[in-house]
Chains A and B, each alone.
Chain A
């Protein structure tokens, strides 16, 4: 955009021009106009404002005229429309265009002119023209307005000159007023309606120009800008372009400089003048009606538009004419075949090189029509024929494919290799199995089959051959040769080729007759001649061979005949006929002569050439010699002269200056003797060829001759024949050196041909590496290996049916001699009677067989995919084939091969040679060298950001890798440091230690190596389970990722409908399901464990410590005593008011310990909620992690004892000084995982109490709850009512979904699945189990586990027929509940009880396994993990629901309405109550047990037990001292020794009966001490749980200053390395 001043300048100029033009035309109005313009010239602003102001009147009138038709809203737009609509031609666009482009328009002329965009220059004159006309009209209007109300307007404009906007606003307001005010004004104003409008436009534009200078668009302008329809410009341009091309040119010329504008504008002005003349007349005629005026106006514009416009029809050319015209210029090549005659020179017959015996390369396929088109096109051009070859086809490269890649290589292999691409040696890893088996052998569909067809065997020599046989074989062989040669007819081929070459030469000479041969042609001629010579030689050789073969056939036949005559019998049926074919003598001779002549000619030419060459050579040499001579002479002369000169001075100096050695004088070459040439040729021809006129001899061998019968043969021959008939042969087929099959043995025939004709179908699993056929020969049953033939493994494309049978030659170098006529093998023999000219023959022959891949039923080849890596031999053969097939098998090196190929001048077009040519093209294929190495991931190393070594070395990378492998130690490692140095060395210590521990068995923790091994094994099993679950964690199913509602079944829908009818606030509300929380968005502190301790039952009470043994002690009820009778009250022993016991409960979980308040009495009621925080390991709250939490909730029951520690009796009155002691009474352990999986645990639990609780006895107040007592008396022990849950409720993780493989029958598995599914559908809360997973991860049917198994004999000896002991014993074993249950059940069975395995749910275990026995008419339920048993009607039985029963025969599922053992029947024979798995419809298939016949228990080493005992004791003592860091720990040795003696008794009694005695004993011994302590009984697996158990009792917490401790450990060994550990721990407090 040009600067404002520029714009202004332009405007001024324009105005001046306008005025000039106006002034020239209109004389009458001149007076007025200039005055007006003078004003404007004085100051633009005022002028324009004046115009704007002055416009108001005409504008008003205009509006008034328009308003009748127009709506107020669109006023401005429509105003313009009124201008546009009358002319209704292209020019309509003009005023529109002016508006938005205003600023451009005005400043545009000089700026825009250089642009040659089509619309601009054309548009500009239009706009300027309209501008001009508008201005004209404007002035006219102005004048009219002025004449009317000049003074008034003048004043108005003077009154408000200041703001343009205001004036605009004024106008607007006026507009509104005017609309309806004076319509009468319209009459006199409308005459010049459009003109006025234009005036207004111009006036507005003028203001706008100034405004745009100021950068402010008016509101109107803005409105227009957004509401306008911009008509497309070209409409306007096109006609004008047509009309006034000349003018346009001048315009364009003029546009360049503003100076020329004047002229141009003048031109325009002239045009305008015409219009104006009319317009003026119109304008003057004020009375004319509006319509007419409009018409006139329209006409005017039309007229002006007609200057630019011409309406024409679209140009159309007649189709035929167009075709005609096109025909003149275009050529459409025909698609028809071009006749050969037009492609070749006149009178030349096309020659086909193939017919002349030359191989012609196969051209690439080109569509025939395209080819025709091209030929036609070429012919159309001048000299078209040169594109065609002799055969009338377009000359083409034999193979247009470029062998080398056109892309430039990325690097130069010649250079030093990029280090990244350097080959690195990696040792090949040979997989044991992978390569052997063909992939996909697992699935039965893909079986591969190899068909070995052994058709027969022909001996070319056999030890049993007679002499005649030898000759016959030779004859047959020769005849075969003859036949093959005949078949190939190499001679004829060569002859044809020779003729062809000769013709070519001849033709070439013919073509260039008289002309000088070009260089190329000469070269070609020479080549052809060379070729001719070569071919001739070849032909001669072949002919000679033919002839020799024929001769030898006849000779052998003669020999044979002689032999037959000589031995007077015939052994072979061979007979040779020689057929003579007559030939036409003359023609034959003619040909013969011709041939000889041609040959002679050629020879002559060749010799001539040779001679010429030699001559030229000679001449050259001669020349040399001559020149030398000449020089010599000159030299000699010189020397002579010299000598003459120097003779007097230097007589003796006779230095002979030699010119080098004297070259020998060349002998001229002999002139070749042309005459002798012909003789030579003739002689040769006579030697190697049929004489002319001689009949053609065609030998024919038949096998129709009679063989002398055996009887007529001499003895030796007879013996031979006998021998032959005895012989038999068979062939073994070996696949990968394993015999897979053998043929039937066939007798050897007289003709020494054996026919087998057997096909072996080999279904193969392994990769074929070799296929061998072994020929065995023998007499009777003794066979010897005659020979072994290797058959190549066929390629996968070789299929049965299409594969040709191959003849494999074989020979054996065995030495065989006979004493009959048989010539033997490897033995010299002679045909002559005198034994001369001996020869030795070896057994040999041909085995005809065929190996191919079978074809399946649906024509699918049963061949393995060939891409599979094959054994060495297989691939080797494939590679070798190409080279081997042309007889250059030794040429492995490709370069050598290339050389060889070049030397042997292979015909590249010979189809026999295609494979080698292909190979060669790769070798010599230009710049692309075949790399000598192969790389799978060529770019891998490029992307390695660090080398492998560094990756191995770096601790950081190792850490990262271990983390991503989810190794347990690093799985949740946060923020791996970014720098190597920040990683401490000992990060991996634990991990490495663990890895090392895998091998080393740590005997420190374990008693013996066996146990350590077991522990390791367990560890491994655990790890494998963890790994399995890790893998499963990464295997997602839809429900893991997407939560979606199940499609509701009808039942659910119905239930939901029913629920709608339910009362809003039912009297018995249901417990609402808490919202389950997914584990992901949890963090530490979110999860709490709620333990509600409700009440306790039967807590042991204190016994009074009396120095003397209490009399009534016996009557005190020991709480271990089963089936107690009535108990006497002990309350009298206690001081009145002192409670029997003050128990409280302490809950410890994850190192946080909380306790309830203290209650009183043996049946306390706490009803307190304890809230414990829970934090998951490593802050990982995923379900798998939570599942693996192995923390346990310990619920310990303590007795709070207040000890009076007031030292001074006097203070007793006013001081209370007591010490609180806590005595452990018992505990309950509940693993967190149980709580997690159960989500809540609610019930009454038995507190496990020590067998002996010193200072306490089971007490019970009589009468208080008598009714309850009777039921409770059935059970024994202390109980706690608990409710445990997790807040918020966690979604228990899913069990690992994995289909384990199984050895069970599929039918059984399906049945079991159906059984379980049905069970869970009807009774979802009853666990059902029919198959279980064994330790190997295989699914096994559950009944297989049940089998009577003997418990250890020692146990039986010790406790004959005692189920309790057995159960107790079991608790020593490591293993889970199910294993225990199974073993217990098996023990019971072996003890002759009726026992079942219960699969049910119990508290706190959840789904578990118990054992049910039936004895003495009642059912007993055994808890295998504690050894406890319960009667069926025991309400404290932890078993809550029974799902199914299993024994060795069947599985029964509980379909009774109730699942609680109290309320159900155990009679499995009732199908209404128990649904059996094996029923009549699905009988038991007789599953064998997986359990062994009997368990063998190893005797446990007693010494080891003692050693362990000592170690445990030592460890525990140290631990107790550790736990009491602030106080000294004294050990009471006396007590310890007492306890130690006592422990074995406990073991023997099983913790019963002896307790009371023991207590008494202790008390008598340690009367002065108050003892609180108890024995703990534990199984031994590791030492850690023992320590934990001791710690949880809290004995070490005794704080009294004079407290002493006693600790005794006893380990009792059981067979099978089971150890029962007793720990007796007590604290002693001196009574005084």
Chain B
């Protein structure tokens, strides 16, 4: 691993799905999964996860999960940089478990601590009648695959409604990116190098 000519670079992500803000809903849980390109492979950690159900605190509006994320990717190509797809579910008035929001965000590519707030949205019913029946039957429209929110293809056919937002926190560590010629740190942020490193 300490070779001078690395073949892959590593992206280590740990962080957490901190909280969500869904003004109308309560008792939500969320699922996350990572979407990445062909040139990426997870080396350790969980690619997918599902959180506990969380309720709003008294007087507070946000739903706090503090659900940890920890994954390391290796890759040869920044193309297809990982994205995290978060989908939030919760019960409706009849107790049916329905989706409350989908959202995705790219993993930040600069090392350090980042906080991201993802706006969430759900697909809309195709018609009023559909909306009514889906409300009645507790079967709202869902994406066939939550990962579609991480891509642009096929989205033109959908109509969505925004729902709330989820806040994530990432701590990013990268390795060997610079050696492979990808410099993601801006000049003013790059840490001072000690002579030994040079």
Contacts of A979 in B (CB 8 A): 5, 7, 180
Complex Cα distance, B160 from A1038, in Å, reads 12
Complex Cα distance, B148 from A944, in Å, reads 30
Judged by a CB distance under 8 angstroms, whether B52 is at the interface is no
A963/B7 in contact, CB under 8 A: no
Judged by a CB distance under 8 angstroms, whether A659 is at the interface is no
Binds B, one of A256-264, A392-400, A1041-1049: A1041-1049
Judged by a CB distance under 8 angstroms, whether A1036 is at the interface is yes
CB interface residues, B 138-154, toward A, < 8 Å = 139-145, 147-148, 153-154
Judged by a CB distance under 8 angstroms, whether A116 is at the interface is no
Judged by a CB distance under 8 angstroms, whether A663 is at the interface is no
Judged by a CB distance under 8 angstroms, whether B8 is at the interface is yes
Mark B27-39 against chain A: 1 for CB-CB distance below 8 A, else 0.
0000000000011
Judged by a CB distance under 8 angstroms, whether A428 is at the interface is no
Complex Cα distance, B154 from A434, in Å, reads 30
Tell me, rounded to whole Å, the shortest Cβ–Cβ distance linking A347 to chain B: 75
B134/A1044 in contact, CB under 8 A: yes
Among candidates B8, B77, B154, B180, residue contacting A960 with C-beta atoms closer than 8 Å: B77
Among candidates A972, A978, A1034, residue contacting B8 with C-beta atoms closer than 8 Å: A978
Tell me, rounded to whole Å, the shortest Cβ–Cβ distance linking A1076 to chain B: 11
Complex Cα distance, B153 from A1034, in Å, reads 7
Judged by a CB distance under 8 angstroms, whether A974 is at the interface is yes
Mark A1028-1064 against chain B: 1 for CB-CB distance below 8 A, else 0.
0000001011101111110110000000000000000
Chain B: interface secondary structure?
loop
Contacts of B143 in A (CB 8 A): 1041-1043
CB interface residues, A 967-1001, toward B, < 8 Å = 972-979, 982
Complex Cα distance, B33 from A86, in Å, reads 68
A976/B126 in contact, CB under 8 A: no
Judged by a CB distance under 8 angstroms, whether B158 is at the interface is yes
B142/A1042 in contact, CB under 8 A: yes
Tell me, rounded to whole Å, the shortest Cβ–Cβ distance linking B101 to chain A: 14
Contacts of A1038 in B (CB 8 A): 126, 157-158
Contacts of B158 in A (CB 8 A): 1038, 1041-1042
Complex Cα distance, B145 from A1034, in Å, reads 15
B134/A975 in contact, CB under 8 A: no
Contacts of B155 in A (CB 8 A): 1041
Contacts of B154 in A (CB 8 A): 1034, 1036, 1040-1041
Complex Cα distance, B143 from A1041, in Å, reads 5
Query: With A1041-B144, A1044-B134 in contact, is A974–B39 under 8 Å at CB?
Result: yes
Residue picked from B79, B137, B157, B180, most chain A C-beta under 10 Å: B157
A1044/B77 in contact, CB under 8 A: no
Contacts of A1336 in B (CB 8 A): none
Q: Which residue of chain A has the shortest Cβ distance to B154 in the bound complex?
A: A1036
Judged by a CB distance under 8 angstroms, whether B115 is at the interface is no
Question: Range of interface residues on chain A?
Answer: 20 to 34
CB interface residues, A 931-987, toward B, < 8 Å = 960, 963, 972-979, 982
Tell me, rounded to whole Å, the shortest Cβ–Cβ distance linking B118 to chain A: 19
Q: Which residue of chain A has the shortest Cβ distance to B176 in the bound complex?
A: A978
Tell me, rounded to whole Å, the shortest Cβ–Cβ distance linking A223 to chain B: 21
Q: Which residue of chain A has the shortest Cβ distance to B136 in the bound complex?
A: A1048
Contacts of B117 in A (CB 8 A): none
A982/B126 in contact, CB under 8 A: no
Q: Which residue of chain A has the shortest Cβ distance to B6 in the bound complex?
A: A978
Tell me, rounded to whole Å, the shortest Cβ–Cβ distance linking A490 to chain B: 66
Query: With A1036-B153, A1045-B134 in contact, is A977–B76 under 8 Å at CB?
Result: yes
A1047/B76 in contact, CB under 8 A: no
A972/B38 in contact, CB under 8 A: yes
Judged by a CB distance under 8 angstroms, whether B87 is at the interface is no
Complex Cα distance, B139 from A1038, in Å, reads 16
Chain A: interface secondary structure?
loop
Judged by a CB distance under 8 angstroms, whether A1080 is at the interface is yes
Judged by a CB distance under 8 angstroms, whether A371 is at the interface is no
B157/A1037 in contact, CB under 8 A: yes
Query: With A1036-B154, A1040-B154 in contact, is A978–B147 under 8 Å at CB?
Result: no
Tell me, rounded to whole Å, the shortest Cβ–Cβ distance linking A1184 to chain B: 14
Contacts of A1044 in B (CB 8 A): 123, 125-126, 130, 134, 139-142
Residue picked from A979, A1042, A1048, most chain B C-beta under 10 Å: A1042
Complex Cα distance, B75 from A1034, in Å, reads 26
Tell me, rounded to whole Å, the shortest Cβ–Cβ distance linking A1040 to chain B: 6
B141/A1043 in contact, CB under 8 A: yes
Contacts of A304 in B (CB 8 A): none
Complex Cα distance, B87 from A668, in Å, reads 107
B145/A1080 in contact, CB under 8 A: yes
Judged by a CB distance under 8 angstroms, whether B129 is at the interface is yes
Query: With A978-B7, A979-B7, A1036-B157 in contact, is A1041–B79 under 8 Å at CB?
Result: no
B153/A976 in contact, CB under 8 A: no
Judged by a CB distance under 8 angstroms, whether B53 is at the interface is no
A1047/B7 in contact, CB under 8 A: no
Complex Cα distance, B195 from A1155, in Å, reads 68
Judged by a CB distance under 8 angstroms, whether B46 is at the interface is no
A973/B148 in contact, CB under 8 A: no
Contacts of A632 in B (CB 8 A): none
Among candidates A974, A1041, A1048, residue contacting B148 with C-beta atoms closer than 8 Å: A1041
Judged by a CB distance under 8 angstroms, whether B41 is at the interface is yes
Contacts of A975 in B (CB 8 A): 8, 38-41, 75-77
Complex Cα distance, B154 from A1047, in Å, reads 23
Complex Cα distance, B77 from A963, in Å, reads 13
Among candidates A1040, A1047, A1078, A1081, residue contacting B129 with C-beta atoms closer than 8 Å: A1047
Judged by a CB distance under 8 angstroms, whether B133 is at the interface is yes
Contacts of A1081 in B (CB 8 A): 145
Among candidates A963, A978, A1037, A1041, residue contacting B38 with C-beta atoms closer than 8 Å: A963
Tell me, rounded to whole Å, the shortest Cβ–Cβ distance linking A725 to chain B: 74
A1078/B139 in contact, CB under 8 A: no
Among candidates B75, B144, B157, residue contacting A1078 with C-beta atoms closer than 8 Å: B144
Complex Cα distance, B179 from A360, in Å, reads 71
A1078/B145 in contact, CB under 8 A: yes
A1042/B38 in contact, CB under 8 A: no
Query: With A975-B41, A978-B180 in contact, is A1045–B76 under 8 Å at CB?
Result: no
B141/A977 in contact, CB under 8 A: no
Complex Cα distance, B141 from A1078, in Å, reads 16
Contacts of A1043 in B (CB 8 A): 141-144
Among candidates A976, A1034, A1045, residue contacting B77 with C-beta atoms closer than 8 Å: A976
Q: Which residue of chain A has the shortest Cβ distance to B179 in the bound complex?
A: A978
Q: Which residue of chain A has the shortest Cβ distance to B148 in the bound complex?
A: A1041
B76/A1042 in contact, CB under 8 A: no
Tell me, rounded to whole Å, the shortest Cβ–Cβ distance linking A1426 to chain B: 39
Q: Which residue of chain A has the shortest Cβ distance to B140 in the bound complex?
A: A1044
Contacts of A973 in B (CB 8 A): 38
B133/A1048 in contact, CB under 8 A: yes
Residue picked from A974, A978, A1038, most chain B C-beta under 10 Å: A978
Complex Cα distance, B6 from A82, in Å, reads 78
Tell me, rounded to whole Å, the shortest Cβ–Cβ distance linking B163 to chain A: 15
Complex Cα distance, B9 from A978, in Å, reads 9
9 extra interface residue pairs, beta carbon distance < 8 Å, beyond A1040-B144, A1045-B137, A1048-B133: A973-B38, A975-B39, A975-B40, A976-B77, A1038-B157, A1043-B143, A1043-B144, A1045-B139, A1078-B144
A sample of 23 inter-chain contacts (CB < 8 A) reads A960-B77, A974-B39, A975-B8, A975-B38, A976-B38, A976-B76, A977-B7, A979-B7, A979-B180, A1034-B153, A1038-B126, A1041-B123, A1041-B158, A1042-B142, A1043-B143, A1044-B123, A1044-B126, A1044-B140, A1045-B134, A1045-B141, A1047-B127, A1047-B129, A1080-B145
Rank and list the top 9 A-B pairs by shortest CB-CB distance, nearest first. Answer: A1036-B154, A1044-B141, A978-B76, A1042-B123, A1045-B139, A1038-B157, A1043-B144, A1042-B141, A1041-B154
B interface residues, Cβ below 8 angstroms from A: 5, 7-9, 38-41, 75-77, 79, 123, 125-127, 129-130, 133-134, 137, 139-145, 147-148, 153-158, 180
A interface residues, Cβ below 8 angstroms from B: 960, 963, 972-979, 982, 1034, 1036-1038, 1040-1045, 1047-1048, 1078, 1080-1081
